[in-house]
Structure 1
């Protein structure tokens, strides 16, 4: 089976997304670019909590399944193909409708405010698509969404969800995890009805730079720990 390690990483990300309640059963989609117009992507018919490496599909740029026994969900193909093609830095693309960041995306002008340390991780690294046009089940809408990401590593999609992208599954998953943590803090803080306590801009900039320098190493260490834990709890995911 080709791309075994990459399949295992993608399966682990899906399982941890289920564990952390960042998922919607068999919907939403994670992908990884593994070659010229070659992508790994999760199958539609398998619940994220049960997915194994062997369930992961290999597809080409036309949506043909080259390896795998399942089918691909149509919006997964159109959104992820455009994202990969138009954003070369986005080797791993994780798309979810996780609750807290989607709650922010469902408010008028919803933005992640720089009011917590976790939020600062995303300073000048987050894009916003403020136009919801439906499912994203054709080339036009997939390309429109992809054009909004730019050089950023995360994108909040109004009335929809979020995309986190990165050079590896581990780095993209680290962003996914901490973006939801930051959004949760903000939603809880706003629910008190009290004014958000802003952090001075110079402190935000300096902290963001320090985090940016450390984040790849921290993210990969976080990912190794998660994979080790999952291999102990559910070793069948590696198959």
Structure 2
């Protein structure tokens, strides 16, 4: 064992992987409590998409697997603005694309993409998809994120480019192909389409989406200004070890949660 591994941890570092004083993720006494928590986080995430301009007409969706019926997922309803969604508006969709709870219809693209991702990847409890400008621009160039800074390094060797565009994603075969290409990566950039990120919670998946879109903006700005100089492999893996930590991703969303619930408490209406 190395001297670093046996060295006493400095008192200012917390006993977590990153050394940050991160709280533990919640544990629930009942399925009902877990489901309410997931739905509240989902509604908050949708409002955040609206607040930060991630809406593009009817496009874009965020989903989370139901904690009890794991072949079903909660998702935003078709035709309702991100900025208006409340917990009571969310719909539960089964493996056949039927809305089994809720009074609104499902976006066909939301069903074919998210059902395939949840089915193919047990670790993808949640998935976030949007047609945001910087990710679309990066995809149009056929490029993935380069490790230009700490945030972009969170996706180093953990992202894929999907170039098999066949029009709007409304076929089961295309949804399955996207899920297959995504595999166990945390992000897939759909060329001519948009971005999908996944995580073990709504919190984590949405944090990765925000981070990816911001990193895409930085990369495009840097390329427009000159010749960016990416990190070395060693630097990128070191940065990913910290900024790509899934627990840190989960916690980072808590700041956004506090922000949006304070500003728009009506989102929690059931």
Match of 2:240 in 1: 208
Q: CA deviation at 1:105?
A: 0.3
Summarize the alignment of residues 48-197 of structure 1 with structure 2, pairs less than 5 Å apart.
Answer: 48-107=82-141, 109-192=142-225, 194-197=226-229
Matched pairs, number: 235
Q: CA deviation at 1:217?
A: 3.2
- 2-structure distance, mates of 1:162, 1:18: 16
Q: CA deviation at 1:27?
A: 2.0
Runs of 4+ with >4 A deviation: none
Q: Does structure 1 conserve the Cα–Cα contact (< 8 Å) formed by 2:112 and 2:171?
A: yes
Unaligned runs of 5+ in 2: 1-32
Which stretch shows the higher mean deviation, 88-97 or 200-209? 200-209
Q: CA deviation at 1:224?
A: 2.0
- 2-structure distance, mates of 1:133, 1:123: 27
In the TM superposition, what whole-angstrom CA distance separates every residue of 1:16-62 from its partner, at most 9, and x where no partner exists? Answer: 01111222143211111113211101101210001000000011111
In the TM superposition, what whole-angstrom CA distance separates every residue of 1:59-86 from its partner, at most 9, and x where no partner exists? Answer: 1111111111110011111111111111
Q: Does structure 2 conserve the Cα–Cα contact (< 8 Å) formed by 1:87 and 1:149?
A: no
Q: What is the TM-score when the length of structure 2 is the normalising length?
A: 0.83
Unaligned runs of 5+ in 1: none
Q: Does structure 2 conserve the Cα–Cα contact (< 8 Å) formed by 1:26 and 1:48?
A: no
Match of 1:44 in 2: 78
Q: What is the TM-score when the length of structure 1 is the normalising length?
A: 0.93
Larger radius of gyration: 2
- 2-structure distance, mates of 1:58, 1:16: 21
Q: CA deviation at 1:142?
A: 1.0
- 1-structure distance, mates of 2:233, 2:112: 38
SS in 1 for 2:185: coil
Q: Does structure 2 conserve the Cα–Cα contact (< 8 Å) formed by 1:113 and 1:119?
A: yes
Summarize the alignment of residues 7-26 of structure 1 with structure 2, pairs less than 5 Å apart.
Answer: 7-26=39-58
Q: Does structure 1 conserve the Cα–Cα contact (< 8 Å) formed by 2:144 and 2:159?
A: no
Match among 208, 223, 228 for residue 253 of structure 2: 223
- 2-structure distance, mates of 1:79, 1:25: 18
State the superposition RMSD in angstroms: 1.6
